[in-house]
Amino acid sequence: MYNQLRGKAFSGNAQLAEVLGFNSPASITEIIKSRQNIDPEKFRIFKEKYKDYIAGTAHVHTPCIKNSRGDPYV
C-alpha cells in the first residue's frame, strides 16, 4: 500500500510519519527497508486517513503544466 499511495496520498515519509505519530521520518524508512510489520493501531490510522486513496475514489490533484505562452498542454 505504501508504494501505491506514496506521491498521491502523501508526499513523503515526513508527512506520513507526522500523520501516524512517529517521531521521525526515519522510522517509516526503517519499516519499509526491513519489511517490518507496522503496529496494528498505526495501520488502522493509515487505513482510515487514506481510505479514499485505497478505495480509488480520491481525487488526485495533478498540476496543470503550461507552455511559455501560459497555455495548458493538452
Phi/psi at 66 (5° precision): -115, 155
Across residues 44-71, what is the average pLDDT?
Answer: 77
> What string of DSSP letters covers 5-59?
HBTTTBSSHHHHHHHHT-S-HHHHHHHHHHTPPPPHHHHHHHHHHTHHHHHT-SP
Domain parsing of the chain, residue ranges: 2-55
Residue 73 reports pLDDT greater than 80: no
Across residues 31-57, what is the average pLDDT?
Answer: 88
Q: Find all residues with CB under 8 Å of 24, minimum gap 6, and list them.
A: 17
pLDDT, residue 2, reads 82
Predicted model pTM: 0.65
**Cα separations in angstroms, 61 against 10, 17, 43, 55:** 12, 22, 25, 16
